[in-house]
Structure 1
Amino acid sequence: MTTTINDKYLHALSLTSDWLTVSEWACKVAEVYPDLLVAADAQAAKQKNDTTGLREIAARLSSRLSSGGFGASVEVDASERPKKVRFLTPSEQQQHEAEEVEEDLAPLRRIDIIKRDSEQLSVAEQYRIDEFEAISRQLKAYFGLDFEVDHAAALLNSKAPGKHHPDNLQLLLKAHNAKKHASNWPRFSFTEQKQYIEAAITLQTLVAVRMDVEVETRVQASLLSRLEAVYGS
């Protein structure tokens, strides 16, 4: 059976269970397959731009990752910069495929739950939910902050799913909400929610000029007052 260069790249990655950057992966390839480094060095010497064999290997790894050349054998964590990768065994690949199917279906499940629970809401409760959503949008519009309306007890939590009800809602930054995912967190008291939003606005104000974001601080008190009116206990 012929061993392809892809096979060699994957084998080098499979020798560690750690997450590696593409550069670290390239070093691992060079360590395990020095002949590939020799060939890459020779090709780099012919390039007009200043490069090295290691950089050439890293560029090839990066290009194949971007084009899906490694299929499901490599897991990518793009939450950091530079991104990190790790090798997936066949059993891990099957588990990831099952999890991806669940994630793809999750929005439809959430829609069904929200539709079901919404039928039980009073007009006042639906108004409170509408205000949460409106305030979330306005925090984005006036402060450049990606706040999302979160269910403190997650709708898709497998052990204790929450309900779509205003007493189960809070505002979380998108990054924090992504980390929370389907976990159940104690809901913020309004005092905690207010402190959380104010802290986020303060940080955004400090870097707004550098990010070319215009922060409109005059609406802060109004939005927080509206949120307090619909937050509940």
Structure 2
Amino acid sequence: MNITEKYLEALKAIGDWVIISEWAIRFGESYPEILEKAEKEAVNQANETTGLREIAARMSSSISRGAYAGRVEIDDSERPRKVRYLPKEQQAAHLEQDINDDVAPLRRDELIKLAAGDFSAHEQYRVEEFEAISKQLKQFFGLAFEVDHSEALLNPSTPGKHHPSNLQLLLKAHNSKKNNKNWPRFSLDEQVAYIETAIKLQSLVATRFEIEMETEVLGALMARLKGIYLNEQT
């Protein structure tokens, strides 16, 4: 069994999501002779390191190069990223899902362009305002909001439509978790409360992140949001 297979065997034995340092620890427990060799090699390194850190670095580098493509599932939505061994019986389905995920933005863009061709001027204005408010929340408050379709365009059972009355603003992390699920759209009051609560939380750490909170802008942005959130001509 070569070193790559031993890495994978250690990950397979864990059987769940782990960060790479945890994977390296398990590998060292499973193959102490390799860990011992790595420790000896680390002594001669110019930079201070350990055998365990060197093993973790090799694993991380291999993941980044795609050396375990199709055999290891990667979750890089957070840092440190997590990995999980992919059983052979799941590899084909995982590959198909990866392909679907990669082409999904093109399918979504096609649906958006098709729907936008039938928009009235007011509907187009509402969509553009959602996008502008999202960008300005990032600019003035350091928060990554995204324009979300509450009924997802690519929901497999009941896909939604690209229309301003199907739009809402979600934090990027929440939108990523939502993915192609259908959620009830925020009421106007819920949408405003969601944004204001996120900004209030951000304000507690803003100075530590060196973010200047432009709080006087919030009222103006919320007034604009109220003007376009509901399907009312203004």
Q: Same fold (TM over 0.5)?
A: yes
Q: 1:57 to 1:191 in 2, by over 3 A?
A: same
Residue 48 of structure 1 deviates from its aligned partner by: 4.8
Residue 173 of structure 1 deviates from its aligned partner by: 1.0
* CA distance, structure 2, for counterparts of residue 122 and residue 76 of structure 1: 43
Q: 1:182 aligns with which of 164, 180, 183?
A: 180
> Does residue 28 of structure 2 align to residue 13 of structure 1?
no
Q: 1:55 to 1:115 in 2, by over 3 A?
A: closer
Question: What secondary structure is seen at the aligned counterpart in 2 of 1:145?
Answer: coil
Equivalent residue, structure 1, for 2:40: 42
Q: 1:82 aligns with which of 75, 80, 88?
A: 80
Residue 220 of structure 1 deviates from its aligned partner by: 0.9
Equivalent residue, structure 2, for 1:104: 102
Equivalent residue, structure 2, for 1:91: 89
* CA distance, structure 2, for counterparts of residue 24 and residue 144 of structure 1: 32
> If the length of structure 2 is used for normalisation, what is the TM-score?
0.91
Q: 1:109 to 1:86 in 2, by over 3 A?
A: same
Equivalent residue, structure 2, for 1:117: 115
Trace 1:1-233 onto structure 2 (pairs within 5 A): 3-232=1-230
Q: Which moved further from structure 2: 37-46 or 154-163?
A: 37-46
Look up the equivalent residue of 2:91 and give its one-letter code.
Answer: Q
Q: Which moved further from structure 2: 68-77 or 196-205?
A: 68-77
Look up the equivalent residue of 1:194 and give its one-letter code.
Answer: V
Q: 1:93 to 1:123 in 2, by over 3 A?
A: same
Question: What secondary structure is seen at the aligned counterpart in 1 of 2:204?
Answer: helix
Residue 64 of structure 1 deviates from its aligned partner by: 1.9
Q: Which moved further from structure 2: 18-27 or 215-224?
A: 18-27
Gaps of 5+ in 2: none
Between the two proteins, the alignment pairs up a number of residues equal to 231
Q: 1:218 to 1:42 in 2, by over 3 A?
A: same
> If the length of structure 1 is used for normalisation, what is the TM-score?
0.92
Gaps of 5+ in 1: none
**Kindly, what percent of the aligned residue pairs are identical?**
55
Residue 205 of structure 1 deviates from its aligned partner by: 1.9
Q: Which moved further from structure 2: 166-175 or 186-195?
A: 166-175
